[in-house]
Amino acid sequence: MCNSEDSELGANKDAIHLPLAGVRVVELSHMVMGPACGMILADLGAEVIKVEPPKGDNTRRLLGAGAGFYRVFNKNKKSVALDLADEAARQALLRLIDEADIFVENFRPGRMDELGLDYASLSARNPKLIYVSHKGFLNGPYEKRLALDEVVQMMGGLAYMTGPVGRPLRAGSSVNDIMGGMFGAIGVLSALFERNLTGKGKEVHSALFENCVLLSAQHMQQFAVTGKAADPMPARINAWGVYDVFELEGEHQVFIAATGDAQWKALCNLLGREDLIADQRLQSNNDRVLARSWMLPELAETLRHYRPAELTPRLEELAIPFANITRPEELFDDVHLKASGGLAGLALEDGSTTPVPLLPLTFDGKRLPPRFPLASIGEHTEEVLASLGFSPDQIAALSAERAIPPRERMVDAA
């Protein structure tokens, strides 16, 4: 349960009752999918206790594209450090799970069985436990395969639809990992609701591949409806006449869409291109789709002479959909995110603070900010074990194990 350590990092903290307050989650996970599930539950108010090996979750030390993973997906959590190669540590973990409502894991298939942390074993001890596993695949011929976000994007149709013909390209974010965590959390919330009626827990599985197939479902059904395979995004015939990226003065890029006749006329009038409104070849959206090869260059040449500061306010005023092409680092200064409270300060282990995006939800108009600093490795070990009845000597003995060089004593994350 989230108690006095909930420091005042968010202005909205005291203004909203957290929906999952009083729910205890034990999370044994790493990378993105399992931590994303735990982060959602934590942001909603659950007490999420992340169990890490003595040297900490390896995600804390990733470089390059993984450098921000830990911060994003582990806020609002406590950290307990246990060496699960040690029998006493495993027993401490079992006692913690006995007191939990939810257990979250995302290790390779079979690893939880090896540790005696499978659903059958844990539910026999704690029948009310909701156990959520995040894997590469649900049950079936692929279930024992190891998977990564990029692997399932390739085999689930998403990479094919994203890249040019013959050059499959993964999406630029960990979309399936994050979506897998979301579905894990949805499964947990559903099981919690059912447990209120039955008093019994349930096993929930979420998987990367099946996430990706859902993302590709619209293209599957396009084929079922039309009999024609969907073309990749760069090669497809667009459903809308104006639906593209254009370059303004100073090489500033902006996406503009005109999906209906009213938007088309408003755009042409704004640009002083009434001649295009009168052109009999452009009278309907379907006409404009067929004319894209010559119509879009006409618009592009006109737009090239407009300054962004001049054009974009007029597009907004006329309700013409548009978007400046934005890089991720520019979102720190996005006026909407800053004004709406979509970014909030997260205190880090070193005492510095960084803005992080919050869950894209409001409750009675309020966002769910960070409630306490990002936990250092094992920061809450003493507190949590003491709450289970461990003596100071027992806690000290378990903490001593944390000083042992991890080597093969680490939980196998493969």
Neighbour-count burial for 123-157, b at 16+ CB within 10 Å, e otherwise: beebeebbbbbbbbbeeeeeeeeebebbbbbbbbb
Query: How far is it, in rounded angstroms, from Cα 43 to Cα 106?
Result: 19
Note whether 339 and 333 are within 8 A (CB): no
Residue 211: both structure tokens together: 């996430």
Complete domains list, the chain, with CATH: 13-216+335-409 (3.40.50.10540), 238-327 (3.30.1540.10)
On the CB side of 203, CA atoms within 13 Å amount to: 11
Q: How many CB atoms lie within 10 A of CB 354?
A: 15
Query: Quick one: DSSP state of residue 366?
Result: B
Q: Per-residue pLDDT tens for 238-283?
A: 889 999 999 999 999 999 999 999 999 999 999 999 999 999 999 9
What percent of the residues of the chain are helix, what percent strand, and what percent coil, each to the nearest 5? 45, 15, 40
Note whether 24 and 102 are within 8 A (CB): yes
Q: What is the pTM of this model?
A: 0.89
Query: How far is it, in rounded angstroms, from Cα 41 to Cα 200?
Result: 20
Residue that wins the pLDDT comparison between 257 and 65: 257
Q: Per-residue pLDDT tens for 370-385?
A: 999 999 999 999 999 9
Average pLDDT of span 219-234? 94
Q: Per-residue pLDDT tens for 149-185?
A: 999 999 999 999 999 999 999 999 999 999 999 999 9
pLDDT band per the 50, 70, 90 thresholds, residue 187? very high
Please determine, for residue 128, whether its predicted confidence score (pLDDT) is greater than 50.
yes
Which residue(s) pair with 77 in the sheet?
48
